[in-house]
């Protein structure tokens, strides 16, 4: 039977192009992910200042708005951080969507019954975890940055806002925060592991190191974030 071989080189070329652009997208995802993790670690460490009392905590928030004054304009640092974070989040989601579509298209036949393999489970968890985190961030900004949804919502007094937020009778807010922070931890655990693999940690030993590092970094972050609502609800911070 005669086979038309003319289309093959073109198909091979476009497959190679898609392959190398997928690698570029994975590197982009890893880089934006690392940037977001760095922000989360700095944010978590800043939150721990609440254990030093209202004045140091509120002063820290004030300092974030006045770094470099009067030479530099008010809030310049926060606005640069907000811009970089927004671009990183949008880029991270866009790259994840393109890669997921490519993976679906590359699958020759749709599974009749999706097998519960680790890969698809992790991918689904990452997708839904990502959506929960995004919804949480929108609520969180309206709660503790603009104060719109906060019972106190006092500008310049984040200590009072946080204490009011996690008051025992508002246990449902604390629960929502706790679930979101655990979702961040789970997302991070898989994300750090994938990023380490993309950036070259392969082989049994490399994968083991990446897995343990991802687990430790996620647990430390989750524990640090959760310590604040836990301290308020138990009366340690009031
Ligand atoms: C229990 C955990 C958390 C507490 C107590 C907390 C507390 C706060 C507070 C007090 C602010 C306002 C800071 C200020 O105005 O100076 C803030 C802002 C913010 N937080 Fe959190 N946070 C928590 C978890 C998170 C998580 C898990 C994320 C991300 C997934 C996050 C992302 C942000 C963002 C994006 C802002 C806005 C920063 C800005 O104004 O540009 N926070 N948080």
Q: What is the pLDDT of residue 110?
A: 57
Q: CB of 166 closer than 6 A to ligand 1?
A: no
Percent of the chain with pLDDT strictly greater than 70: 87
Q: What is the 190 CA–ligand 1 centroid distance (Å)?
A: 22
- Contact by Cβ (8 Å): 44, 121: no
Q: CB of 160 closer than 6 A to ligand 1?
A: no
Q: What is the pLDDT of residue 178?
A: 97
**pLDDT band of 15, cuts 50, 70, 90:** low
- The most confident of 19-28, 49-58, 104-113, 126-135, by mean pLDDT: 49-58
What are the Cα distances from residue 32, in Å, to 38, 88, 92, 145? 10, 5, 6, 23
Averaged pLDDT of the chain: 89
Q: CB of 102 closer than 6 A to ligand 1?
A: no
């Amino acid at each position: 039977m005669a086979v038309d071989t003319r289309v093959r080189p073109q198909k091979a070329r476009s497959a190679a192009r898609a392959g190398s652009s997928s690698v570029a997208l994975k590197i982009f995802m890893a880089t934006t992910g690392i940037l977001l993790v760095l922000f989360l670690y700095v944010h978590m460490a800043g939150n721990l200042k609440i254990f030093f009392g209202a004045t140091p905590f509120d002063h820290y928030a004030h300092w974030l708005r006045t770094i470099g004054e009067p030479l530099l304009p008010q809030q310049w640092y926060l606005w640069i951080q907000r811009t970089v974070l927004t671009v990183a989040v949008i880029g991270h989601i866009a790259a994840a969507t393109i890669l997921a579509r490519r993976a679906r298209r590359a699958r020759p036949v749709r599974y009749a019954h999706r097998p519960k393999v680790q890969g698809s489970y992790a991918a689904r968890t990452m997708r839904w975890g990502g959506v929960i985190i995004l919804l949480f961030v929108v609520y969180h900004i309206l709660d503790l940055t603009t104060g719109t949804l906060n019972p106190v919502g006092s500008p310049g007094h984040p200590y009072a806002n946080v204490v009011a937020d996690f008051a025992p009778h508002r246990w449902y807010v604390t629960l929502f925060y706790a679930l979101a922070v655990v979702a961040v931890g789970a997302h991070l655990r898989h994300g750090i592991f994938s990023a380490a693999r993309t950036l070259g940690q392969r082989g049994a030993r490399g994968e083991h190191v990446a897995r343990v590092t991802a687990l430790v970094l996620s647990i430390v972050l989750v524990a640090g974030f959760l310590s604040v609502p836990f301290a308020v609800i138990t009366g340690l911070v009031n």
